[in-house]
């Protein structure tokens, strides 16, 4: 783990370790840099991550403030969601409108007479290829989907239509990159990757988008309450 990643994780851990007596501020940059034995530049990179995920805010001349309530809520972030939208770009590879297959009918609650959008795109972070995404969306309600829309954030597109997601159901599995995937991602065949399946669910229960993703630079961190019920179930 890179030093700045360790620092970000360690500071986040300390924020959650003080839930009973919440911290209001972190120590000054200079003191933190000395404690971790790193340069101010490395420390600032770690703090940038905490700012990006909403854990802290930096007020010039006043200090590093912990956002209220952050230690009392579950927190999940990954190598995409910690990035700002202007750091992420997309390139459309394919776009089709077609009938759904049996699995897609189940996912979206569609019939044989309905249509879906199916598209493949590359997702880049800081201009580097990181994800190959094959996604599907129901055509009904999203008739104005265009190639230009797909080369931008789908989440922002949904928000513009008043369709804010309420939940995501995500499955992760380790995999390796196939020859065809490597050609699209401009990487070596057989390198380690993460296979991610994700359903974006709307407040009314409908699935708005189903994504099948290969990510060659994936990292995910989360802080959630300990599940005592699951522990009890596993012990029976």
**What are the strands of the beta sheet with 116-125, ordered from one edge?**
88-98, 116-125, 128-138, 207-215, 192-201, 167-176
Give the domain CATH number at 39: 1.10.10.10
Please tell me whether residues 55 and 101 are part of one structural domain. Answer: no
Which among 53, 73, 93 is the end of a domain? Answer: 73
Is residue 229 situated within a structural domain?
no
State the pLDDT at residue 180: 96
Is residue 124 situated within a structural domain?
yes
Please tell me whether residues 117 and 63 are part of one structural domain. Answer: no
State the pLDDT at residue 19: 67
Print the domain residue range for 26. Answer: 3-73
Is residue 173 situated within a structural domain?
yes
Which among 20, 48, 73 is the end of a domain? Answer: 73
Give the domain CATH number at 125: 3.40.1410.10
Q: Grade residue 2 by pLDDT with cuts at 50, 70 and 90.
A: confident
What is residue 152's DSSP assignment?
Answer: S
181-221 pLDDT, tens digit per residue, is 999 999 999 999 999 999 999 999 999 999 999 999 998 88
Please tell me whether residues 64 and 95 are part of one structural domain. Answer: no
Q: Grade residue 141 by pLDDT with cuts at 50, 70 and 90.
A: confident
Q: How far apart are the first and last CA of the chain?
A: 36
Range list of β-strands (E), 114-229: 116-125, 128-138, 167-176, 192-201, 207-215, 220-223
143-180 pLDDT, tens digit per residue, is 999 999 999 999 999 999 999 999 999 999 999 999 99
Taking the model in full, what pTM does it have? 0.82
Task: Name the residue with higher pLDDT: 124 or 2.
Answer: 124
State the pLDDT at residue 74: 75
Query: Tokens for 168?
Result: 């995501």
Is residue 177 situated within a structural domain?
yes
19-36 pLDDT, tens digit per residue, is 667 778 999 999 999 999
Number of structural domains the chain divides into: 2
DSSP string, 73-106: S-EEEETTTTS-GGGEEEEEEEEEEE---HHHHH
Please tell me whether residues 112 and 186 are part of one structural domain. Answer: yes
Task: Name the residue with higher pLDDT: 127 or 70.
Answer: 127
State the pLDDT at residue 20: 67
State the pLDDT at residue 95: 97
74-107 pLDDT, tens digit per residue, is 778 788 888 888 899 999 999 999 999 999 999 9
Please tell me whether residues 120 and 178 are part of one structural domain. Answer: yes
Task: Name the residue with higher pLDDT: 60 or 132.
Answer: 132
């Amino acid at each position: 783990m890179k030093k700045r990643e360790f620092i970000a994780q360690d500071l986040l851990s300390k924020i959650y370790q003080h839930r009973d007596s919440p911290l209001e501020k972190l120590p000054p940059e200079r003191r933190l840099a000395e404690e971790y034995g790193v340069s101010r530049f490395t420390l600032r990179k770690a703090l940038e991550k905490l700012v990006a995920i909403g854990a802290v805010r930096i007020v010039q001349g006043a200090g590093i403030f912990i956002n209220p309530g952050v230690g009392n809520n579950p927190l999940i972030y990954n190598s995409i969601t910690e990035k700002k939208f202007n750091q992420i770009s997309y390139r459309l590879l394919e776009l089709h409108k077609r009938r759904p297959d049996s699995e897609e009918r189940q996912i979206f609650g569609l019939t044989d007479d309905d249509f879906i959008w199916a598209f493949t795109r590359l997702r880049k972070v800081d201009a580097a290829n990181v994800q190959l995404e094959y996604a599907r969306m129901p055509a009904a309600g999203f008739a104005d989907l265009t190639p230009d829309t797909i080369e931008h954030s789908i989440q922002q597109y949904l928000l513009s239509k008043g369709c804010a997601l309420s939940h995501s159901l995500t499955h992760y599995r380790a995999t390796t990159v196939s020859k065809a995937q490597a050609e699209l991602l401009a990487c070596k065949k057989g390198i380690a990757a993460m296979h991610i399946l994700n359903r974006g669910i709307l407040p009314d229960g409908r699935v708005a988008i189903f994504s099948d993703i290969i990510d060659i630079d994936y990292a995910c961190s989360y802080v959630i309450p300990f599940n005592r019920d699951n522990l009890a179930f596993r012990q029976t």
